[in-house]
Amino acid sequence: MRLRGVFRAAKLPNGQRAIGTKWVFKIKRKADGSIEKYKARLVAKGFKQKYGIDYTETFSPVVKYVTLRMVIAIAKYFGWPLDQLDVVTAFLYGIMKEQVFCIVPEGVELDGNFDCLELVKAIYGLKQASRVWNETFDEFVCSIGFQVSAFDPCLYIKVVDGHCVLVLVYVDDVLITGTASARSFLGSSWWTAQTAV
């Protein structure tokens, strides 16, 4: 989280309040039951957020089922490959617009006279986390030349030199198809898992 710049040490302003956080620990197991790895995730206690203070909007779109079926049918008709990508810890890429402070999590020490953390990016558990991530993804994809479909805000289209690329997003899962090397249009900094569908 430090490497991604999720927080910045802060002094809680007068009249502001800091929301709590908690650590969630999981053990990921292999098929044979042995331990593959230990996972830890810091989540916000979003249930303590106040509307109009810590957040305003929470809605984020999800792809329509008919759009998904249409894109799969188009890919099949033209013989285009379908690639499914997962954005690992997607919410940690979402850039916060509201000013939200959180209590310093257990195990984290701050230097100086700071008494809380200001969220620069969204974390899981925030009421607006999904929306913030979706806005960040939308801004990124549009900045590299994709157009948002008027039919579905989760469908992005790009045509370059006669090559068409379609991108569908469902929270942190992305489906890409098209005539060109579609994945190269998006870059690879966010993706860790690519699966041919």
Residue 22 lies inside a defined structural domain of this protein: yes
Residue 1 lies inside a defined structural domain of this protein: no
The DSSP symbol for 184 reads H
Domain count, the chain: 1
pTM reported for the whole predicted model: 0.84
pLDDT at 156: 96
pLDDT at 193: 53
Cα 132 from chain centre: 8
* Banded pLDDT at 94 (limits 50, 70, 90): very high
Which residue range is the domain that position 135 belongs to?
A: 7-196
Burial class (CB in 10 A: 0-12, 13-18, 19+), 91: buried
Q: Which residues contact 147 (CB under 8 A, 6 or more apart)?
A: 156, 157, 158
Structure tokens belonging to residue 130: 């999904």
Query: Beta 101-102 vs 18-19: how paired, if at all?
Result: parallel
How many CB atoms within 10 Å of residue 139?
A: 10
Task: Assess whether pLDDT exceeds 90 at residue 194.
Answer: no
pLDDT at 113: 86
How many CB atoms within 10 Å of residue 50?
A: 10
